[in-house]
A and B are shown apart, each in its own frame.
Chain A
């Protein structure tokens, strides 16, 4: 397929039409009769919360998933896209969030990968390099065809991906959160390139969480919520408020259980914290917060705004660049997990199968993971089997961990029971501060309710509880105070009994003026 004739934004047959796409996974409808189309020469954004179904829809388009229902038309002709290779043949390209490049090969070699050489069995890197230079000149993409991928910055790698798509002459390009890894300057440069790419009549699908970027670059915006298309609007008619309203929807009011006492002593205090993320970009940028005894503070925010790095820094799993973390009287900014625990921290991690349990260990062994040195359970280095089993038996009945026996491997338990097991272990040491990341993600309703009740009980016992969650309903239900994290810092705070879901949603989208600061809140650093 070649680039369509230069007829930007002329009404007619869309480049792509997806009609009534339904994709079910066990227990979830990821896409529910979604309609989506892309016209020649436009940038059409897919917008929505995590798990709203954006990626699923694009995977259907790229041939990674087969839809259960619905029809896809490319240039007005009905097609069945069976594989990524098939999608590429039809002129559909995709730039994944994690780049698909071979680190040890050059730019030209990466571009040539999977393409037929014009010289038969021999490579044709000279011609490929020449074409890359032409494309780089036309689109002002500064890329050296001879450079080896591992030498390049993230922004440069993304340019290589774009060159790859241009080289293949795609007519429709999907960019999955392309700005997540870029600095603001690089984002501006990218947008210039994207605009230029549409001039030849290409259509682009842009996926992002960041509302200002979406309004900046899009011609049209489609908002997905819980797998449904809840609206496709012209960018000129969209506003931040309208997008947030569509994204968040109207929630059913949930009963909240406010804290009895307030004004306990400050147990956890984070000041001007800076933490680097895995991709080398600063993920936490000058964040400050305080959590007192007897309150539940929730950190809301769209994922990828530094929440994971923040929780790992507090837990001692990630060393901060600068700033201070105080837990009680202990300074933890250069700590390791053992020190954080010694200072009174309990941590329920986000990746429970990776960090929270040893899947091949039994329930009893997993319950012993933290306290294996404690004098209660080992004497002169020898494990006190009987005391351990009694302790474990008490814990699993106290926390309602449903397991056939203490000797069942943890990997055989359901997600909810694993989370209860981790909670049982973490709370058994009566912590000063409890940090819980994504307390109930992927967990059934019954276990979710139980875990929420437990968190409230812990708060009433005087523990300082900090919850990081992407689930706004959860935050609104159990937190006494909400801090919203955006681009590595706390952009604002809210009171779940006073502020609405929409107001918090605005903060999550980076709109700062949405909620007037509450009296008595700790000062929050600006981004």
Chain B
């Protein structure tokens, strides 16, 4: 058939496209690490020593791997939540607030039920965390679906509201009044009931049940999106509200539900932060990041690096968890502040997005007739949807 010969004629361009699409993500990581090396040199440190320390700190030995996995678990859940919302073409920037609400709801549940056995209490607190986050995700979701309120603004605003609620609860109604401090009370809860602590799975590591839960949830969400009719509707609504409405789908409800699920994932991550912590309290320093460790934002990076696919996100979360854990080792070894890891993350995002842009440009300029001619499917581009989503909203 002639259309296949056309495809052959474009093979060279296809190969370049393929290179860009499959290697965009590893390439951007390498590029970010190279720039990081230059930064280290500028700071008078040896990048080889630095990266060696980072890798050893994050991945060498069962204890390091366990710490990385524990650090990765909440990131993974947030990232999976971002994926769900993104498939419905909603951008959830409210992970921070949803984490906090999840943490608060789960802590309150644990404090209220101190005498339940683990087998009942742990599922309950996890559900409570998910419910808290779900509520905080449903609000901007419904506003977006029913009143066309920009979700980026509303989720960021709700982050600010959440931090105020958290500070008030942790310094007021939920504060540990038994602490003896001369400088006023630290905003933290009492020690949570021992039955609510997430059990350690491998002795002599930090690896707790939360890691397993996060991975199972990620796989579950992948199934939800790609193997159920509800997920099919989420995708349809995300790609074309008009066509979905015309086909009789409940567009607004689907969007709201996608944001609710997204919030639930973040809320569950918040519960892991509380019950997987070493202090086994919910603690804040008055800022959101004091509790979340910026996981609500880091999760977005993880999701992008995972091509907004829950399965790839598992690997991506582990890598970024490693970066965060290894960052401390890097600081010890070279004296470069661990914050450099944050800069690396930012660079990765910049590279992912710009490589994706290049890939798209090479495609649109190379085959102007692609709309009119049927061609075999091209390989699924990892971050393609990143750019296309913007274009879709603006026909």
Q: Which residues of A contact B (CB under 8 A)?
A: 315, 317, 336-338, 340-342, 347, 349, 351, 354-362, 365, 368-370, 372-373, 377-378, 381-383, 385, 402-405, 407-409, 411-414, 417
Q: Does B179 belong to the interface (CB within 8 Å)?
A: no
Indicate if the CB atoms of B242 and A378 lie closer than 8 Å.
no
Complex contacts, A403 vs chain B, CB 8 Å = 374
Nearest CB on A from B380, distance (A):
10
Partner of A356, one of B233, B235, B246, B388: B246
9-residue interface stretch from B11-19, B223-231, B306-314? B223-231
Complex contacts, B230 vs chain A, CB 8 Å = 381
A349-B246 CB under 8 A given contacts A360-B239, A412-B375: yes
9-residue interface stretch from B47-55, B97-105, B334-342, B365-373? B365-373
A-B contacts counted at CB < 8 A amount to: 99
Q: List 9 A-B contacts (CB under 8 A).
A: A317-B245, A356-B246, A362-B377, A369-B247, A372-B233, A381-B228, A402-B374, A404-B374, A412-B371
A408-B377 CB under 8 A given contacts A337-B245, A361-B239: yes
Q: Which residues of B contact A (CB under 8 A)?
A: 3-4, 227-230, 232-233, 235-236, 239-240, 242-250, 370-377, 388, 392, 395
* Cα(A347)–Cα(B247), bound, Å: 9
Partner of B374, one of A356, A365, A385, A413: A413
Known pairs A382-B228, A405-B377 / 5 extra A-B pairs, C-beta < 8 Å:
A356-B243, A356-B246, A361-B236, A404-B377, A408-B376
Complex contacts, B3 vs chain A, CB 8 Å = 404
Complex contacts, B239 vs chain A, CB 8 Å = 358-361
Nearest CB on A from B6, distance (A):
11
Partner of B243, one of A369, A377, A382: A369
Name which residue of chain B comes closest to A368, CB basis.
Answer: B232
Nearest CB on B from A302, distance (A):
25
Name which residue of chain A comes closest to B3, CB basis.
Answer: A404
Indicate if the CB atoms of A315 and B240 lie closer than 8 Å.
no
Complex contacts, B247 vs chain A, CB 8 Å = 337, 369-370
Partner of A354, one of B228, B240, B370, B373: B240
Indicate if the CB atoms of A358 and B244 lie closer than 8 Å.
yes
3 closest A-B pairs by CB = A338-B248, A378-B229, A355-B246
* Cα(A342)–Cα(B3), bound, Å: 40
Partner of A407, one of B233, B243, B377: B377
Nearest CB on A from B391, distance (A):
11
* Cα(A355)–Cα(B246), bound, Å: 6
Interface centre among A317, A360, A362 (most CB of B within 10 A): A360
* Cα(A337)–Cα(B373), bound, Å: 32
Indicate if the CB atoms of A383 and B229 lie closer than 8 Å.
yes
Complex contacts, B244 vs chain A, CB 8 Å = 358, 369
Interface centre among A341, A373, A412 (most CB of B within 10 A): A412
Indicate if the CB atoms of B232 and A383 lie closer than 8 Å.
yes
Complex contacts, B375 vs chain A, CB 8 Å = 404, 408, 412
Nearest CB on A from B385, distance (A):
8
Complex contacts, A356 vs chain B, CB 8 Å = 243, 246
Name which residue of chain A comes closest to B4, CB basis.
Answer: A404
* Cα(A317)–Cα(B245), bound, Å: 8
Nearest CB on B from A367, distance (A):
11
Partner of B229, one of A336, A355, A372: A372
Nearest CB on A from B387, distance (A):
12
Indicate if the CB atoms of A337 and B246 lie closer than 8 Å.
yes
Complex contacts, A377 vs chain B, CB 8 Å = 229
* Cα(A317)–Cα(B244), bound, Å: 11
Indicate if the CB atoms of B374 and A373 lie closer than 8 Å.
no
Indicate if the CB atoms of B229 and A412 lie closer than 8 Å.
no
A357-B374 CB under 8 A given contacts A370-B248, A381-B230, A383-B232: no
* Cα(A381)–Cα(B257), bound, Å: 15
